[in-house]
């Protein structure tokens, strides 16, 4: 089930589907312990005139958006048959672990006074387990509680200032029972006050509505590590008022997004809107410990072996770059603290990590051709150093840099210096950034040049002269080796990667967007170097969709989620934006930036209504494919907009494009 909204506060990440139903509820880490699970949901339904209709029914017309400049959902649900409209605001309270919903219910019949009931159904997979749950009604507090071990939830609601008037708990998905939501079909709940096993619950709020009258409902779901904790949260909500918490959270996010002073010169309003939403979506995927997950969407688990709820150093480093450039260097600092804690003793990063800093699952083996190999993508180690220098240039946080110099910067830079092939001087073989092929990869080699250049700057900054020389000389040596060993003068192109079999080099000349991007973004040669110009042009021609919606694929013969055999692969937001970024670097006038604006408009055309960007698209229809949202896509969009504005300032067109920190 595709996700339409992503909301969070650093401890909680909540995903809602296209019907406004909660589908993912992560706690206590963003991306770790999905308390709803990939198959369960929290329904919302209306009972009127003897009929119950859940919002997932065919008779509802639903629009879902992310509010402008606010990390809050805006849902409109219209049912013409029932004569009912719901206007729903959803958010996660920024200060405490509370999910809040404000629902305005309207009787749209101009000539009928009616009783309308609103029902909320909760299904949990607490601690990602199906067993040993308990749900009960507390008659003293007049709330529903779900708990299992050190995870507890409290559910409450108000209509016109009074609490819910109906409830029940029950079993679902076991003993032949579908769930307590079936009990709501006659508009009256059984008031079963306790159940254990795989349990769910429903609460109901009913009242009379005059013709065209509106009522205000507040619903909240608080989570903690004990029943006492969630009872305190419930008291906190009642004391301050759920409406107050919603407004203070909206004010916080509005201030957070608009504190920057971007001019957005020459950009469409749709681009500006997606830029601001992208920052919010990225921020929702950041844990308070600095972990930045790739995506919180559990839907992919139903089709694959795993989710994207991990910290890929690659994705996270680029997201940290984007947030730093957009004005939130604090998140980047938290992320680099995370990196400092998880880096291997020998100075490299593994494939991916769980948000709690443990090692994530992987498909990279420890043996290759019968020999030991490190199961890494070396570019992930390199990108951390590259992003860290960007953070320092923005923050000038010298004390933090000094505190992690030996443990993170020097450790990883020394690894990059030593992890090199003796025959070519290039980095040793590792997996490419697409996590598919093993070899000496052009993008990886270029990223190592960028990383060691950054390490040399850090060493110079702190007076480490010997290290500065080693890092700078190694970076230059690898840069020359790229031009010598990875460039084919016959075809005039760079290879994707090379493999060594004994003393024999085997070149993989697959056209890959990352090859051209790596050469450009890490400055392996000037932007007007004929070799780079040719690589960019030929790559863009080869990978741009020749039919359908346009956009660029990853590489030739890409079968990942491919929907049409005629294409080289599906278009990705990331790769399309890479070529916009190169166009910015190469531009010599404002007029030359029009292709950049068009690529940004392309992204807005194929974003969801709520502003989410997926990993890739169906090249024929523009349908979102694979994971949605992909934080990396949003990061590259934000970085492209900022690079565009920086270039305008360089041209003297825009004097106030940069953010004020």
Q: Is 513 helix (H, G, I), strand (E, B) or coil?
A: helix
Angle subtended by helix axes 269-284 and 313-325, to nearest 10: 130
Q: Percent helix, strand and coil across the chain, each rounded to 5? A: 35, 25, 35
Identify the pLDDT of residue 384. 98
Q: pLDDT at residue 234 above 90?
A: yes
Residue 301 has pLDDT above 60, yes or no: no
Burial bucket for residue 489 (CB in 10 Å: 0-12, 13-18, 19+): exposed
Question: What would the mean pLDDT of 89-106 be, rounded to a whole number?
Answer: 98
Do the bridges between strand 430-431 and strand 438-441 make them parallel or antiparallel, or are there none, so unpaired?
A: antiparallel
DSSP secondary structure, 535-604, as one string: HHHHHHHHHB-SSTT--B-SBTT--TT---TTSSS--BHHHHHHHHHHHHHH--SGGGGHHHHHHHHHHH
Contact 194, 137 (CB under 8 A): yes
pLDDT digits (tens, 9 = 90+) for 54-76: 999 999 999 999 999 999 999 99
Instruction: Please state, for a pLDDT cut of 90, what percent of the chain lies above it.
Output: 89
Q: Residue 472: what are its φ and ψ, rounded to 5°?
A: -65, -45
Q: Which one of 195-204, 254-263, 562-571 scores highest in mean pLDDT?
A: 195-204
Confidence (pLDDT) at 369: 82
Question: Average of pLDDT values for 77-94?
Answer: 98
Asked whether the predicted pLDDT for residue 113 surpasses 60, the reply is: yes
Name 561's Cβ contacts closer than 8 Å, sequence gap at least 6.
Answer: 570, 616, 625, 626
Residue of 48, 30, 22, 47 lying closest to 200 (CA atoms): 22
- Crossing angle of the two packed helices 442-461 and 465-485, in degrees rounded to 10: 160
- The whole-number pLDDT of residue 545 equals 81
CA distance 596 to 645: 11
Q: What percent of the chain has pLDDT over 70?
A: 98
The CA-atom distances, in angstroms, between 562 and each of 294, 297, 538 are 21, 20, 22
**Is pLDDT at 654 greater than 90 in this prediction?**
no
How wide is the angle at C-alpha 477 spanned by C-alphas 474 and 482, nearest 5°?
125
pLDDT at 302: 47
pLDDT of 228: 98
Give the list of residues 6+ apart from residue 303 with CB closer than 8 angstroms, or none. none
**Side-chain half-sphere of 65: how many Cα atoms within 13 Å?**
10
- Tell me how crowded residue 183 is: count the other CB atoms within 10 A of its CB: 22
Q: How far apart are CA 53 and CA 126, in angstroms?
A: 27
Pairwise pLDDT comparison (554 vs 174), residue with the higher score = 554
Mean per-residue pLDDT, 374-383: 97
| Cα–Cα distance measured from residue 291 to residue 339, given in angstroms and rounded to the nearest whole number | 9
Q: What is the pLDDT of residue 661?
A: 36
Question: In whole angstroms, how far apart are CA 397 and each of 321, 324, 338, 387?
Answer: 15, 12, 17, 14
Whole-number CA gyration radius for the chain: 27
pLDDT at position 303, please?
52
CA distance 87 to 104: 5
């Amino acid at each position: 089930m595709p996700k339409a909204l992503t909301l969070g506060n650093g401890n909680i990440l909540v995903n809602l589907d296209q019907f406004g139903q909660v589908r993912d509820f992560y706690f206590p880490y963003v991306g770790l312990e999905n308390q709803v699970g990939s198959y369960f949901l929290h329904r919302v339904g209306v009972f009127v005139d003897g009929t119950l209709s859940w919002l997932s029914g065919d008779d509802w017309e639903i629009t879902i958006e992310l509010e402008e400049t606010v990390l809050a959902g805006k849902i409109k649900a219209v049912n013409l048959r029932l004569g009912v409209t719901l206007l729903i605001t959803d958010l996660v309270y920024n200060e405490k672990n509370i999910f809040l919903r404000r629902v305005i219910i309207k009787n749209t019949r101009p000539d009928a006074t009616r009783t309308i009931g609103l029902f909320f159904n909760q299904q949990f997979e607490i601690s990602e387990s199906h067993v040993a749950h308990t749900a009960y009604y507390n008659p003293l507090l007049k709330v529903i509680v779900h708990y299992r071990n050190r995870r507890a939830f409290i559910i409450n609601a108000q209509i016109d200032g009074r609490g819910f008037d109906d409830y029940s708990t029950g079993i679902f998905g076991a003993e032949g029972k579908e769930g307590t939501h079936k009990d709501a079909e006659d508009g009256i709940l059984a008031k079963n006050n306790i159940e254990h096993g795989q349990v769910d619950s429903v609460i109901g709020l009913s009242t009379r509505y005059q013709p065209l009258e509106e009522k205000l409902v507040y619903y909240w779901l608080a989570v903690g590590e004990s029943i006492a904790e969630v009872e305190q949260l419930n008291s906190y909500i009642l004391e301050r008022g759920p409406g107050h918490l919603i407004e203070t959270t909206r004010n916080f996010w509005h201030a957070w997004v608009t504190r920057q002073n971007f001019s957005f010169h020459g950009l469409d309003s749709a681009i500006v809107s997606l830029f601001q939403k992208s920052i919010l979506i990225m921020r929702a995927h950041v844990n308070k410990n600095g972990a930045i997950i790739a995506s919180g969407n559990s839907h992919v688990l139903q089709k694959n072996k795993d989710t994207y709820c991990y910290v890929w150093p690659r994705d996270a480093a680029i997201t940290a770059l984007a947030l730093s450039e957009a004005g939130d260097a604090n998140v980047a600092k938290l992320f680099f603290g995370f990196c400092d804690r998880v880096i291997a003793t020998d100075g490299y990063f593994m494939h991916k990590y769980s948000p709690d800093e443990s090692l994530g699952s992987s498909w990279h083996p420890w043996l290759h051709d019968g020999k030991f190999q490190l199961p890494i993508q070396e570019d992930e180690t390199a990108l951390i150093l590259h992003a860290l220098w960007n953070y320092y240039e923005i923050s000038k946080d010298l004390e933090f840099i000094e505190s992690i110099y030996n443990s993170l910067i020097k450790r990883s830079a020394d690894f990059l210096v030593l992890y090199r092939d003796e025959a070519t001087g290039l980095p040793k073989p590792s997996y490419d950034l697409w996590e598919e092929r093993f070899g000496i990869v052009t993008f990886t080699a270029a990223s190592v040049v960028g990383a060691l250049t950054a390490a040399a700057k850090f060493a110079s900054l702190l007076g480490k002269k010997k290290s500065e020389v080693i890092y700078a000389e190694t970076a230059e040596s690898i840069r020359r080796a790229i031009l010598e060993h990875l460039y084919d003068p016959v075809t005039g192109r760079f290879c994707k990667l090379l493999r060594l079999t004994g003393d024999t080099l085997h070149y993989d000349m697959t056209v890959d967007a990352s090859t051209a991007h790596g050469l450009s973004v890490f400055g392996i040669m000037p932007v007007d170097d004929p070799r780079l110009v040719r690589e960019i042009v030929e790559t863009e021609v080869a990978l741009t969709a020749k039919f359908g919606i346009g956009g660029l694929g990853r590489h030739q013969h890409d079968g990942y989620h491919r929907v049409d055999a005629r294409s080289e692969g599906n278009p990705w937001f990331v790769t399309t934006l890479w070529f916009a970024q190169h166009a910015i670097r190469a531009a010599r006038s404002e007029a030359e930036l029009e292709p950049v604006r068009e690529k940004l408009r392309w992204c807005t055309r194929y974003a969801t209504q709520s502003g989410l960007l997926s990993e890739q698209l169906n090249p024929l229809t523009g349908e979102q494919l694979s994971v949605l949202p992909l934080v990396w896509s949003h990061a590259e969009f934000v970085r492209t907009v900022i690079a565009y504005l920086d270039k305008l300032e360089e041209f003297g067109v825009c004097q106030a494009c940069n953010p004020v920190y």
